[in-house]
Every structure is written in structure tokens, then in C-alpha cells.
Amino acid sequence: MQQIINYCCLLVLVTLIWLPNSVCGQTETKPDTLSLFVSGTNGYKSYRIPAIVTTTKGTLLAFCEGRKNNAADAGDIDLLLKRSTDGGRTWSQQQVIWNDSTNTCGNPCPVVDETTGTICLLSTHNLGDDKEGDIIKKLSRSTRTVWITRSNDDGLTWSEPEDITATTKKKEWGWYATGPGIGIQIKQGPHKGRLVIPCDFSYDDSTTIPAAGHASMGSHSIYSDDHGTTWKLGGSITPKMNECQVIEVADGNGTLLMNMRSYFQRNCRAQALSYDGGITWTAPVDVPALVEPVCQASIFRYAWPNKKTKSIMLFLNPASAKRMNMTVRASYDEGQTWPVIRTLYTGPSAYSCMTLLPNGTINCLYEAGNKNPYETIIFQKLIAKELLNK
């Protein structure tokens, strides 16, 4: 009973919190919120790793991991989905996309092909009793593999998962994660139409992990030029990079910006650029304005620059030295500065993702809780006019 009370209190708290702590000083607003996945319900001890996309038909698809026995990154983990065809007001029953017995099916990272309407869901797999540390140290029975499943009917049904490890992972790598979050489709330049998925990997061949952090971690990209039929390995970004999200810069050339979780122990994000569609990347540099506790984050383009609209990028993460204070920021200069800041939830919070509805509503999906960040996955709608002071 106490657990139910705690969840109810969390929902009320998240619904009421909207702290305008940037430059505009607007009046308090109560955004639409919903506890979409609640730990301890529907047969899963916890729900982690949120991802959300909008299909070409305007349907919202919210993905996550359903962790059967514990909150760890290994064990019996399924890939789950809920759909909304009314802008997030109501949601379908929970759907299991991939359940491989007691093994780990994780890291959902969807991308929508706007030409064909196909939703490609990239993910990873490992034996349930192979722990992340052992996979990194090359002491596990098997390793981490890369998979794809597709939907051609707006997320209603999904193809059998297909192993694409051979073309997307180097043999010397150990750990591997797609996203977490979403991929993109390049809209401008010579690689227009290319699907790009941000990923990370471990490449330490020793049996020890450096005490100061994962010196042997890196970020990288994989891509498809045939609407998701086949996938190739792009370039990598090292050292000490990890979970990442990619966004296209509005320069007309299709330049990509990779925003990354950093292990340089400086409590800020890092980023790198690609001028060839993700095949090669520049060296990582710090982004001091984007404070982080060493955690996953979300970056998303709200608007492309044109005669009526300026460029707008959005960034969402727990803006703190600890996993708390879920905060959204906006940039009008391709990520050089982030003048708009709004706190969505001050309590414990962690992974997140964003998508946009055709009417301009910003949709956030993030982990939050009272005692720890992994009690619920919250869906929250933000009104652009209020956030961006438009």
C-alpha cells in the first residue's frame, strides 16, 4: 500500500512542478503529465531506458526496457512499447516487441524513415547471465550483439529481430549500446535521406577497468542509405565518450553533431561534429553549459530556420552533479549557447527522450522517482509558446 501511495504522490508532484528559472519570468503552468510505465506493475520489477518517436501518421510510440527481476543492465529484459494516436491523451496496452526468454533485449533506439513511413527499432542483445563488466573485460560467455526490428504499419506489428552485428560492430569491441534514445534521418546535403543511429562501445582488451572512469569507452554511429534494409559502421569518437544522441546542424550541408556522456569527470557533456554523414568525426570537446552527472541525455531539433522561424534545438537531462533536476534547455544558435532553461522535475531523474507532434507540442519521456530515478517513466507534454516565450 505504501508503494502505491508513493507512486500517486510522484504523479501529483510531477504534474505540479514547472519552475520558470530562465530569463522570461512567465507565470506558473501545469503541463500534461502521465506515469506511463510504473515499476512493479505488469510483471516487471522496473522500467528503464525510455525512447519516443512520432510516426509519419502522427502516432506517438513510447519504448522502454521491461526488467523482470532487477534494475541492473543484465538479466531478463524485454523490449516494450505503448502507442498513442491522440497526442498522448490515451495510450494502448503495453506491447512486448522482443522477449528472448531470460536474456537481455535492450537499448531501444528507434528512427522513422519519413520517405517510406517504416519505423526501424535498433537494439542490443546479450545472454541474461553475462554482466556488463564481464562483457567489457571479455570474460563473459558471449558478447553484446546488434539487432533491428521494423514496423510498416505505424507500430502495430513488428518483424522478427534481425542480427546486424557483422556490419555494425568491430570484433575487438566488447560492450555495445544503441542510443539510448532515438536516431535521425538526414534532411539536407549530399547524404540526405540517410538514417543515422548513435551508439557506444568498449574497446579495452585488458581485464581491468580504469579506476578514474571508462578510458576504454567510445561513441560511434551506424547508418543506412537504403531505408533501413542494410546498416554500416560509421566513425568512432574517443576517448572516454559513452551514451550519445545525434542531431543535424542547420547549415544546409547535413553536418551532424554528436552530443555525448563524458567520463572526463568535468560534470559536463561533450560533443563532436561529422561533415560526411557520420563516417568520420572530430575529436570530442566539452560543452560547459550542459551540466551533467555522467548520464544519458536527449537532444532534438524543434525547428529549422526559415523566413518565419529561427533555428531551435532542445536539450533534456538531469542538470546537476547527481541524477536529479530534469531540465530542458533551448538553443537558437545551433547549440553554441543555451539561454532558455526550464526545470521539469527537481527530484531524482535520469534518462530521457523527446519528440515533436505535428501541432508543435513537445513530448518528453523521462525517468523519475521519489527515492531514486527509476521508479517511473513519465510522459510530459510541453507547450512551445510557453517554453520558448514565443
Residue 15, pLDDT score: 36
Q: What predicted TM-score, i.e. pTM, was given to this entire model?
A: 0.90
**What's the CA gap between 29 and 51, in Å, rounded?**
25
Residue 24, pLDDT score: 28
Rounded to the nearest 10°, the torsion over CA 61, 11, 298, 359 is 50
Q: Who's near 252: CB < 8 A, 6+ residues apart?
A: 188, 189
Rounded to the nearest 10°, the torsion over CA 240, 244, 247, 248 is 50
The DSSP result for 33-91, as a single string, is: EEEEEETTSTT-SEEEEEEEEE-TTS-EEEEEEEESS-SSSSSSEEEEEEEESSTTSS-
**What's the CA gap between 37 and 377, in Å, rounded?**
5
The answer to whether 327 touches 344, Cβ cutoff 8 Å, is yes
Per-position pLDDT tens, the chain of length 390: 444 444 444 443 333 333 333 222 222 334 489 999 999 999 999 999 999 999 999 999 999 999 998 767 889 999 999 999 999 999 999 999 999 999 999 999 999 999 999 999 999 999 999 999 889 888 899 999 999 999 999 999 999 999 999 999 999 899 999 999 999 999 999 999 999 999 999 987 555 554 444 558 999 999 999 999 999 999 999 999 999 999 999 999 999 999 999 999 999 999 999 999 999 999 999 999 999 999 999 999 999 998 888 999 999 999 999 999 999 999 999 999 999 999 999 999 999 999 999 999 999 999 999 999 999 999 999 988 888 874
The answer to whether 117 touches 53, Cβ cutoff 8 Å, is no
Angle at alpha carbon of residue 248, lines to 245 and 252, rounded to 5°: 170
**What's the CA gap between 108 and 167, in Å, rounded?**
19
Residue 27, pLDDT score: 29
CATH of the domain at 339: 2.120.10.10
**What's the CA gap between 111 and 194, in Å, rounded?**
11
Is 11 part of any domain?
no
Phi then psi for 237, rounded to 5 degrees? -130, 115
User: CA-based diameter of the chain, in Å?
Assistant: 58
Residue written as grid cell 547549415: 251
The answer to whether 312 touches 331, Cβ cutoff 8 Å, is yes
Is 35 part of any domain?
no
The answer to whether 271 touches 287, Cβ cutoff 8 Å, is yes
Is 19 part of any domain?
no
Residue 299, pLDDT score: 98
Is 4 part of any domain?
no
**What cell was used for 376?**
517511473
Amino acid letter, residue 88: G
Is 10 part of any domain?
no
- pLDDT-above-70 percentage for the chain: 88
Q: In the chain, which ranges are continuous DSSP H helix?
A: 2-16, 132-137, 165-168, 384-388
Is 53 part of any domain?
yes
Residue 386, pLDDT score: 84
For the chain, the domain total comes to 1
Residue written as grid cell 536474456: 103
**What's the CA gap between 187 and 200, in Å, rounded?**
24
8-state DSSP, 153: S
CA dist list (Å): 384 to 289, 302, 387 = 22, 9, 5
Name the nearest CA neighbour of 259 among 340, 213, 198: 198
The answer to whether 120 touches 111, Cβ cutoff 8 Å, is yes
Count of CB atoms within 10 A of residue 94's CB?
19
Range of the domain at 226: 41-388
Is 120 part of any domain?
yes
8-state DSSP, 16: H
Across the chain, how many H-helices and E-strands are there? 4, 24
Name the nearest CA neighbour of 87 among 52, 114, 118, 46: 52
Is 175 part of any domain?
yes
The answer to whether 316 touches 364, Cβ cutoff 8 Å, is yes
